[in-house]
Amino acid sequence: MPQIEFWEGYFPEIILELWPHKIKDYGDAVLAAASYNFRIPIYTFDKKFYNQLKLIRFKAFLI
């Protein structure tokens, strides 16, 4: 039987470190904060977001 895991994914302290100076969009900052906390890469179509992630040395891939 499949199992579902719930991971807390909202990290206000990290979000506020990123937004709005390092990552301009709030939703993108929420995603980046979760990525940072769980140490997982971000795959995105958004070139602006990708460039912002690269500037702060997050592991990101443009697809």
- The answer to whether residues 23 and 49 touch, using CB atoms and an 8 Å cutoff, is yes
What is residue 16's predicted lDDT score, i.e. its pLDDT?
97
Q: Model confidence over 7-62: pLDDT tens digits?
A: 788 999 999 999 999 999 999 999 999 999 999 999 999 999 999 999 999 999 99
CB hemisphere CA count around 42 (13 angstroms): 24
pTM for this one?
0.85
What is residue 9's predicted lDDT score, i.e. its pLDDT?
82
pLDDT of 1 > 70? The answer is no
Domain ranges of the chain: 12-62
What is residue 53's predicted lDDT score, i.e. its pLDDT?
97
